[in-house]
Structure 1
Amino acid sequence: MANELQNRNNFFDNLMNMRNWMNDDFFSNLTPVADHMKTDVTEDDKGYTVKIDMPGFDKKDIHISYANNILTVTGRRDTFDDDADKEGNVLHSERRYGQMSRQYRLPDVNRKDVKAQYNDGVLTISLPKLNEKDDDENRIDID
């Protein structure tokens, strides 16, 4: 009788684990992309610093652009190593592949002096602000 009760409890535990796993998998597809590119943006008098968590990306697959006061960061991951067994079965995988992109409105950036580094899965972008001298270089006076 005790063995039967133990088997029933294990069965219900397994059902609950399966339900949680299915819900997690279903709702993970509804998670916004921003959830996978966690970002910190700081600002001081001299410029902005943007730090983005992008673990698992190759540096060559990260693209950064700045135009019209918008910083755009795009990362692409085509494949990843999986933990499949000899038959190729994977019970559950939460790692993603494909393309992710984020945009940040950061006005008055001196595009010529923007710097980026990628270390240990964190992309750090330094965006110095335009000073008055830089801004005047693009100004055209009318005679």
Structure 2
Amino acid sequence: MLNKLLAASALVILPAGFALAQDDAAGGDQEYEITGDAEAGERVYRKCQACHMVGEDAQNRVGPQQNGIIGREIAALEDFNYSDALVEKGEAGEVWTPENLNAFLENPREWAPGTKMSFAGLRKEEERADVIAYLAQYNADGTTSE
């Protein structure tokens, strides 16, 4: 009896630890499971700020601004000059899902050979999940969905 109660409790409690990011940029009907810690991701994102911005005043730098990136087609910002590797992925209809971002952030040059991104990647899975959770908070206009 106690085991059944614990199992049922886990099913109720477990989903509370997960956030969902909705794809508003491409129609608004796709949801993605986000498992990282956005607060921790903000700290990890400092590694990215030399080249990228996110938030209400975000602009393109060496890398594109990252507002609304979850669910956005790869290489979709018209005012940024992407590498051919990312343009090809975008033309093939690929989207920045949490899974694609995870793979790209782990090893950008392996996931998109020919990318202009010189960053070596985030080797720790937890750091990648946290950065993705941090980015998932931002809508395309730079406001947060909190």
- The interval holding the TM-score normalised by the smaller chain is under 0.3
TM-score (normalizing by structure 1): 0.25
- Larger relative contact order (Cα-Cα within 8 Å, sequence gap ≥ 6): 2
As a proportion of its length, which structure holds more strand? Answer: 1
Q: TM-score normalized by structure 2?
A: 0.25
Structure with max Cα Rg: 1
